[in-house]
Amino acid sequence: MPEGIAPRLIPAIVQEGLRGRVLMMAWMNRRALAQTLRTGFAHFYSRSRKKLWKKGEESGHVQEVREVRLDCDGDVILLIARQRGRGACHAGFRSCFFRRRRGGRWVVADPRVFDPGRVYHR
Amino acid sequence: MPEGIAPRLIPAIVQEGLRGRVLMMAWMNRRALAQTLRTGFAHFYSRSRKKLWKKGEESGHVQEVREVRLDCDGDVILLIARQRGRGACHAGFRSCFFRRRRGGRWVVADPRVFDPGRVYHR
C-alpha cells in the first residue's frame, strides 16, 4: 500500500495532461490507489456501490494514467491521464464539468460528444 | 443561495485557466460558493477551523475567479481562477500538487517559488 496518504476516502481529480481539462473527480481509498499504480488505469472507490471500480469498465472509456500526484496535505490525489473514448462523463461530455455559472444559473457550456444511451447499457 | 448544489460540504478544485495547472482543492458549503460568486474571489469552508475563509486572506495570494463550473452530479465545483502572488500552496509551491509518485515514492516534482516563512506569519 502506498504510504503517505490518508487512510480514509480521499478525493481524486483526473486531469487530461498537466495543462489539460479537468475531467472528473471521484473517490479513492488505499486499495484504489494501489490498483491504479499497479495497473496504470484509473480505479476509484464507489461510495454508493461500496466497491472498487475501474473507470470505463462499462463504457470502455478507460483512463491511462501518466502521472500520479499528491497534494501538500497528503489527502488529495491528482491523476494526469489520457482519456480513451470520447469523454469521461456519463452524461455524454468530455468533462464532467460541462456546466458553468452564468447570469445566476448553471448553463451547459460544452458540446455533448457522445450519446450516453449507446455507451451505457444499464 | 445558488440552487442545484448539494447541501453538504463539497470539494472545490481550483484550476489556473481551463487548460492550466490544478492549483489546489478545498471544501465549500453553500455560503462559501455564494460568497465566491458575489465577490469574485475564492472562498472556502475550513473543516478544521469550522469557518468560512477567503483564500489568500493571510498571504495575499488571493484567487480571482473567472469561471465557476459544476460537475454532472452537482457535487463538485471547479473554479477557473487567476492566482495572485507566486503560488497557491502554503508550502511555497505554485500548485499544492507538487509531489509525484516515482519509483514507489512520492518525490517533489516542482520548484519551490516562494519562502513560506516570509509569507505566513503564524
pTM value is 0.93
Q: Is the pLDDT of residue A33 over 60?
A: yes
Question: The sheet that has A77-83: what strands, in order across it?
Answer: A22-28, A10-15, A77-83, A63-70, B99-102, B105-108
What residues in A contact B97, CB-CB < 8 Å? 69-71, 76, 78
What residues in A contact B100, CB-CB < 8 Å? 67-70
Q: For residue A28, what are the β-bridge partners?
A: A10
Q: Is the pLDDT of residue A72 over 70?
A: yes
Q: For residue A101, what are the β-bridge partners?
A: A106
B96 → closest Cβ in A71, A100, A106? A71
Find the radius of gyration of the CA atoms of chain B: 15
Angle at A94 between CA A86 and CA A64, to 5 degrees: 65
Angle at A8 between CA B19 and CA B6, to 5 degrees: 60
B48-70 confidence digits (pLDDT tens): 899 999 999 999 999 999 999 99
ipTM for the predicted complex comes to 0.93
Identity of the residue numbered B110? D
